[in-house]
Amino acid sequence: MSRALVYCGFQHATQLSLPAAGVKAAPVRVLGQGELSLLWSDVEWPFDPARMQRSAVEFHGVVHHVFNQAAVIPFRLLSVFEDEAALKAFAAEHRERFLEDLDRLKHFVQMEFVVYPAPGRAQPDSSSGKAYLEQKAGMTRAIEQHVGNVRDALGELSRQVVVREAKSGHRVFVLVERGKEEIFRETVKSVGVPETLSRRTSGPWPAAEFLSERVKMPQIAGAK
Amino acid sequence: MGRGRRTRLSLMPTDFESVELIGGGEEEVSLLDILDHVLNAGVVIHGSLVISLAGVDLVYVGLNVVLTSVETALRSLQVEEKRGPK
Protein backbone atom coordinates (compact mmCIF):
# COMPACT_ATOMS: atom_id res chain seq x y z
CA MET A 1 0.00 0.00 0.00
CA SER A 2 1.30 3.46 -0.83
CA ARG A 3 0.50 6.92 0.45
CA ALA A 4 1.43 10.48 -0.53
CA LEU A 5 3.96 11.77 1.98
CA VAL A 6 4.28 15.56 1.89
CA TYR A 7 7.57 17.16 2.85
CA CYS A 8 7.02 20.90 2.53
CA GLY A 9 5.45 23.76 0.64
CA PHE A 10 7.21 26.73 -0.92
CA GLN A 11 6.69 29.51 -3.44
CA HIS A 12 7.33 28.32 -6.94
CA ALA A 13 10.63 29.59 -8.38
CA THR A 14 12.29 28.14 -11.43
CA GLN A 15 15.82 28.70 -10.12
CA LEU A 16 15.35 26.47 -7.08
CA SER A 17 17.24 23.20 -7.03
CA LEU A 18 15.04 20.34 -5.87
CA PRO A 19 16.10 17.03 -4.33
CA ALA A 20 15.74 13.96 -6.50
CA ALA A 21 15.07 11.39 -3.80
CA GLY A 22 13.39 11.44 -0.42
CA VAL A 23 12.34 8.93 2.20
CA LYS A 24 13.46 5.41 1.31
CA ALA A 25 14.93 6.76 -1.94
CA ALA A 26 11.44 7.47 -3.28
CA PRO A 27 11.45 9.99 -6.14
CA VAL A 28 10.50 13.46 -4.92
CA ARG A 29 7.66 14.93 -6.94
CA VAL A 30 6.34 18.45 -7.22
CA LEU A 31 2.67 19.30 -7.03
CA GLY A 32 2.09 22.80 -8.38
CA GLN A 33 -0.99 24.75 -7.38
CA GLY A 34 -0.57 28.22 -8.82
CA GLU A 35 2.41 29.80 -7.07
CA LEU A 36 2.42 27.12 -4.38
CA SER A 37 4.59 24.06 -4.81
CA LEU A 38 4.42 21.02 -2.58
CA LEU A 39 7.11 18.37 -2.50
CA TRP A 40 5.87 14.85 -1.98
CA SER A 41 6.69 11.19 -2.56
CA ASP A 42 4.74 8.03 -3.04
CA VAL A 43 5.89 5.93 -0.10
CA GLU A 44 5.18 2.47 1.19
CA TRP A 45 2.80 2.73 4.11
CA PRO A 46 2.99 2.18 7.00
CA PHE A 47 6.63 2.98 7.54
CA ASP A 48 8.95 0.31 8.74
CA PRO A 49 9.52 1.24 12.40
CA ALA A 50 13.01 -0.22 12.22
CA ARG A 51 14.13 2.54 9.89
CA MET A 52 12.17 5.39 11.46
CA GLN A 53 15.27 7.36 12.40
CA ARG A 54 16.63 7.02 8.89
CA SER A 55 13.30 8.09 7.43
CA ALA A 56 13.33 11.14 9.70
CA VAL A 57 16.79 12.13 8.52
CA GLU A 58 15.83 11.62 4.87
CA PHE A 59 12.68 13.67 5.40
CA HIS A 60 14.74 16.40 7.03
CA GLY A 61 17.16 16.27 4.09
CA VAL A 62 14.41 17.00 1.59
CA VAL A 63 12.96 19.88 3.58
CA HIS A 64 16.36 21.45 4.20
CA HIS A 65 17.44 21.07 0.59
CA VAL A 66 14.77 23.61 -0.30
CA PHE A 67 14.96 25.56 2.95
CA ASN A 68 18.64 26.28 2.30
CA GLN A 69 17.49 28.30 -0.71
CA ALA A 70 14.08 29.67 0.23
CA ALA A 71 11.36 29.81 2.87
CA VAL A 72 9.40 26.61 3.30
CA ILE A 73 6.40 25.44 5.26
CA PRO A 74 7.36 22.03 6.61
CA PHE A 75 4.84 19.29 7.13
CA ARG A 76 5.35 16.90 9.99
CA LEU A 77 6.71 13.48 9.23
CA LEU A 78 4.01 10.80 9.27
CA SER A 79 1.39 13.15 7.88
CA VAL A 80 0.31 11.39 4.72
CA PHE A 81 -2.49 11.75 2.21
CA GLU A 82 -4.34 8.87 0.71
CA ASP A 83 -3.18 9.67 -2.80
CA GLU A 84 -2.13 12.46 -5.13
CA ALA A 85 -5.75 13.50 -5.70
CA ALA A 86 -6.27 14.04 -1.96
CA LEU A 87 -3.09 16.08 -1.79
CA LYS A 88 -4.16 18.11 -4.79
CA ALA A 89 -7.52 18.87 -3.20
CA PHE A 90 -5.75 19.94 -0.02
CA ALA A 91 -3.41 22.22 -1.97
CA ALA A 92 -6.30 23.84 -3.84
CA GLU A 93 -8.18 24.47 -0.63
CA HIS A 94 -5.27 25.90 1.35
CA ARG A 95 -3.12 27.51 -1.34
CA GLU A 96 -3.90 31.13 -0.49
CA ARG A 97 -3.21 30.72 3.22
CA PHE A 98 0.04 28.92 2.57
CA LEU A 99 1.16 31.59 0.13
CA GLU A 100 0.31 34.36 2.60
CA ASP A 101 2.51 32.75 5.25
CA LEU A 102 5.29 32.05 2.78
CA ASP A 103 5.25 35.66 1.67
CA ARG A 104 5.29 36.91 5.27
CA LEU A 105 8.18 34.61 6.21
CA LYS A 106 10.15 34.63 2.98
CA HIS A 107 13.12 36.57 4.36
CA PHE A 108 13.28 34.83 7.73
CA VAL A 109 14.55 31.74 9.47
CA GLN A 110 13.89 30.35 12.93
CA MET A 111 16.73 30.26 15.44
CA GLU A 112 16.32 28.66 18.83
CA PHE A 113 17.87 28.48 22.23
CA VAL A 114 16.92 26.60 25.34
CA VAL A 115 17.84 27.53 28.89
CA TYR A 116 17.61 24.96 31.66
CA PRO A 117 19.19 24.08 35.00
CA ALA A 118 22.78 22.94 34.61
CA PRO A 119 22.82 19.16 34.95
CA GLY A 120 24.24 18.06 38.26
CA ARG A 121 24.80 21.59 39.55
CA ALA A 122 21.97 21.91 42.01
CA GLN A 123 20.68 18.96 43.97
CA PRO A 124 16.98 19.22 44.81
CA ASP A 125 16.51 20.62 48.30
CA SER A 126 14.43 17.90 49.89
CA SER A 127 14.67 19.23 53.44
CA SER A 128 11.08 20.41 53.22
CA GLY A 129 8.36 21.04 50.70
CA LYS A 130 8.76 24.78 51.17
CA ALA A 131 12.51 24.64 50.61
CA TYR A 132 12.00 22.63 47.44
CA LEU A 133 9.42 25.06 46.09
CA GLU A 134 11.60 28.05 46.94
CA GLN A 135 14.53 26.48 45.17
CA LYS A 136 12.37 25.75 42.15
CA ALA A 137 10.99 29.28 42.08
CA GLY A 138 14.52 30.66 42.32
CA MET A 139 15.61 28.56 39.38
CA THR A 140 12.63 29.72 37.32
CA ARG A 141 13.49 33.35 38.11
CA ALA A 142 17.11 32.74 37.09
CA ILE A 143 16.02 31.19 33.80
CA GLU A 144 13.56 34.00 33.08
CA GLN A 145 16.23 36.56 33.91
CA HIS A 146 18.70 34.93 31.56
CA VAL A 147 16.17 34.60 28.76
CA GLY A 148 15.39 38.29 29.25
CA ASN A 149 19.08 39.17 29.06
CA VAL A 150 19.51 37.27 25.81
CA ARG A 151 16.38 38.85 24.36
CA ASP A 152 17.68 42.29 25.29
CA ALA A 153 21.01 41.52 23.64
CA LEU A 154 19.30 40.32 20.48
CA GLY A 155 17.28 43.53 20.28
CA GLU A 156 16.03 44.21 16.78
CA LEU A 157 17.80 41.17 15.41
CA SER A 158 14.79 39.23 16.64
CA ARG A 159 11.74 40.17 14.61
CA GLN A 160 9.45 38.01 16.69
CA VAL A 161 9.97 35.78 19.71
CA VAL A 162 8.00 32.89 21.12
CA VAL A 163 8.92 31.52 24.54
CA ARG A 164 7.63 28.16 25.61
CA GLU A 165 7.93 27.08 29.19
CA ALA A 166 8.77 23.47 29.72
CA LYS A 167 8.91 21.58 32.97
CA SER A 168 12.28 22.85 34.07
CA GLY A 169 13.29 25.55 31.65
CA HIS A 170 12.46 27.71 28.70
CA ARG A 171 12.63 27.11 24.98
CA VAL A 172 12.91 30.28 22.93
CA PHE A 173 12.11 30.55 19.22
CA VAL A 174 13.39 33.64 17.44
CA LEU A 175 12.48 34.86 13.98
CA VAL A 176 15.69 36.17 12.39
CA GLU A 177 16.38 37.62 8.98
CA ARG A 178 17.97 35.04 6.69
CA GLY A 179 21.70 35.66 6.48
CA LYS A 180 21.98 36.90 10.06
CA GLU A 181 22.22 33.47 11.68
CA GLU A 182 25.86 33.91 12.60
CA ILE A 183 25.19 37.30 14.18
CA PHE A 184 22.45 35.62 16.18
CA ARG A 185 24.83 32.92 17.40
CA GLU A 186 27.53 35.40 18.29
CA THR A 187 25.08 37.66 20.08
CA VAL A 188 23.66 34.81 22.14
CA LYS A 189 27.18 33.61 22.90
CA SER A 190 28.12 37.07 24.12
CA VAL A 191 25.66 36.76 26.99
CA GLY A 192 27.34 34.79 29.76
CA VAL A 193 25.48 31.80 31.14
CA PRO A 194 25.19 31.69 34.95
CA GLU A 195 26.87 28.67 36.53
CA THR A 196 23.57 27.22 37.61
CA LEU A 197 22.18 27.22 34.08
CA SER A 198 22.91 25.63 30.73
CA ARG A 199 22.02 26.98 27.34
CA ARG A 200 21.87 25.42 23.93
CA THR A 201 21.44 27.11 20.55
CA SER A 202 20.27 25.61 17.28
CA GLY A 203 19.17 26.69 13.84
CA PRO A 204 18.48 27.84 11.26
CA TRP A 205 15.21 25.97 10.96
CA PRO A 206 12.12 26.68 8.85
CA ALA A 207 9.99 29.23 10.69
CA ALA A 208 7.43 26.63 11.75
CA GLU A 209 6.78 28.24 15.12
CA PHE A 210 5.68 31.42 13.39
CA LEU A 211 3.15 29.92 11.00
CA SER A 212 -0.39 31.16 11.34
CA GLU A 213 -2.66 28.77 13.20
CA ARG A 214 -4.82 28.10 10.16
CA VAL A 215 -1.75 26.93 8.25
CA LYS A 216 -0.27 25.01 11.15
CA MET A 217 -3.51 23.15 11.78
CA PRO A 218 -5.55 23.30 8.58
CA GLN A 219 -9.06 21.98 8.64
CA ILE A 220 -9.64 19.27 6.10
CA ALA A 221 -12.96 19.12 4.32
CA GLY A 222 -14.85 16.06 5.52
CA ALA A 223 -12.40 15.49 8.34
CA LYS A 224 -13.45 13.64 11.45
CA MET B 1 25.03 8.29 29.29
CA GLY B 2 24.91 8.03 33.07
CA ARG B 3 22.22 6.48 35.18
CA GLY B 4 21.17 9.85 36.63
CA ARG B 5 20.48 11.24 33.22
CA ARG B 6 18.41 8.27 32.18
CA THR B 7 16.34 8.60 35.31
CA ARG B 8 15.83 12.31 34.83
CA LEU B 9 14.80 11.80 31.23
CA SER B 10 12.15 9.28 32.11
CA LEU B 11 10.78 11.38 34.94
CA MET B 12 10.91 14.75 33.29
CA PRO B 13 10.10 14.42 29.63
CA THR B 14 10.85 17.88 28.33
CA ASP B 15 12.04 18.84 24.89
CA PHE B 16 15.31 20.48 25.74
CA GLU B 17 16.44 17.82 28.15
CA SER B 18 16.16 15.20 25.49
CA VAL B 19 18.04 17.46 23.09
CA GLU B 20 20.67 18.15 25.70
CA LEU B 21 21.25 14.47 26.26
CA ILE B 22 22.28 13.93 22.69
CA GLY B 23 24.01 17.13 21.71
CA GLY B 24 27.17 18.00 23.56
CA GLY B 25 28.03 21.45 22.28
CA GLU B 26 25.90 24.55 22.49
CA GLU B 27 25.36 24.64 18.73
CA GLU B 28 25.50 21.01 17.79
CA VAL B 29 22.61 19.72 15.70
CA SER B 30 21.78 16.24 16.85
CA LEU B 31 19.63 13.46 15.55
CA LEU B 32 17.20 14.31 18.29
CA ASP B 33 17.03 17.91 17.06
CA ILE B 34 16.06 16.55 13.68
CA LEU B 35 13.51 14.14 15.12
CA ASP B 36 12.10 16.88 17.28
CA HIS B 37 11.57 19.16 14.30
CA VAL B 38 10.30 16.64 11.77
CA LEU B 39 7.80 15.23 14.27
CA ASN B 40 6.84 18.32 16.21
CA ALA B 41 7.27 21.38 14.01
CA GLY B 42 5.18 22.24 11.00
CA VAL B 43 1.80 21.57 9.52
CA VAL B 44 -0.38 19.13 11.43
CA ILE B 45 -2.92 17.33 9.32
CA HIS B 46 -6.12 16.09 10.84
CA GLY B 47 -8.75 14.16 9.01
CA SER B 48 -9.98 10.81 7.92
CA LEU B 49 -8.04 11.05 4.67
CA VAL B 50 -4.90 11.59 6.59
CA ILE B 51 -2.98 9.56 9.09
CA SER B 52 -1.08 11.69 11.50
CA LEU B 53 0.93 11.26 14.62
CA ALA B 54 1.76 14.92 14.74
CA GLY B 55 0.73 16.94 17.73
CA VAL B 56 1.88 14.22 20.06
CA ASP B 57 5.12 15.14 21.76
CA LEU B 58 6.67 11.77 21.06
CA VAL B 59 10.20 12.96 20.69
CA TYR B 60 10.16 14.84 23.95
CA VAL B 61 10.40 11.70 25.99
CA GLY B 62 13.52 10.41 24.34
CA LEU B 63 14.63 8.35 21.43
CA ASN B 64 13.77 4.90 22.73
CA VAL B 65 10.34 6.03 23.78
CA VAL B 66 9.86 7.72 20.43
CA LEU B 67 10.51 4.50 18.61
CA THR B 68 8.33 2.53 20.95
CA SER B 69 5.56 5.05 20.60
CA VAL B 70 5.84 5.10 16.84
CA GLU B 71 5.72 1.34 16.74
CA THR B 72 2.63 1.35 18.87
CA ALA B 73 1.06 4.00 16.72
CA LEU B 74 1.93 2.18 13.53
CA ARG B 75 0.40 -0.99 14.88
CA SER B 76 -2.83 0.84 15.57
CA LEU B 77 -2.69 2.42 12.13
CA GLN B 78 -2.33 -1.01 10.59
CA VAL B 79 -5.44 -2.11 12.46
CA GLU B 80 -7.27 0.95 11.13
CA GLU B 81 -6.11 0.17 7.61
CA LYS B 82 -7.40 -3.41 7.87
CA ARG B 83 -10.77 -2.12 9.04
CA GLY B 84 -11.00 -0.01 5.94
CA PRO B 85 -12.27 3.55 5.47
CA LYS B 86 -15.09 4.77 7.68
Whether pLDDT at B61 is above 50? no
Read off the DSSP letter of residue A78: T
Asked if pLDDT for residue A87 goes beyond 70, the answer is yes
The percent helix, strand, coil of chain A (3-state, each to 5) is 40, 30, 30
Q: Which residues contact A157 (CB under 8 A, 6 or more apart)?
A: A174, A176, A177, A180, A183, A184, A187
Tell me the residues of chain A between 41 and 100 that have a Cβ less than 8 Å away from chain B. Answer: 45-47, 49, 52-53, 56-57, 59-60, 63, 73-82, 86, 90
How confident is the model over A32-77, as pLDDT tens digits? 999 999 999 999 877 777 788 888 899 999 999 999 999 999 998 8
Residues of A whose CB is below 8 A from B42: 8, 73-76, 206, 208, 211, 216
Query: Of chain B residues 15-74, which have a CB less than 8 A from chain A?
Result: 15-17, 19-20, 23, 26-27, 29, 31, 33-35, 37-54, 63, 66-67, 70-71, 74
Nearest to A112 by CA among A213, A188, A26: A188
Q: What's the Rg (C-alpha) of chain A?
A: 21
pTM: 0.78
Contact A60, B38 (CB under 8 A): yes
User: Which residue from A73, A119, A199 is facing B42, i.e. has the nearest CB?
Assistant: A73
Asked if the Cβ–Cβ distance from B42 to A76 is below 8 Å, we say: yes
Chain B residue with minimum CA distance to A218:
B45
Q: What is the pLDDT of residue A215?
A: 93
A57 and B31 within 8 Å at the Cβ level: the answer is: yes
pLDDT tens across A141-198, in order?
999 999 999 999 999 999 999 999 876 689 999 999 999 999 999 999 999 999 999 9
- CA atoms within 13 A of residue A144's CA, in its CB half-sphere: 7
Neighbours of A194 (CB within 10 A): 15
pLDDT per position as a tens digit, B7-43: 222 222 233 333 333 334 444 567 778 888 888 888 8
Mean pLDDT across chain A:
91
| Cβ–Cβ below 8 Å for A74 and B42 | yes
Nearest-CA neighbor of A206 among A67, A41, A79, A82?
A67
> Cis before residue A204, ω within 30 degrees of 0?
yes
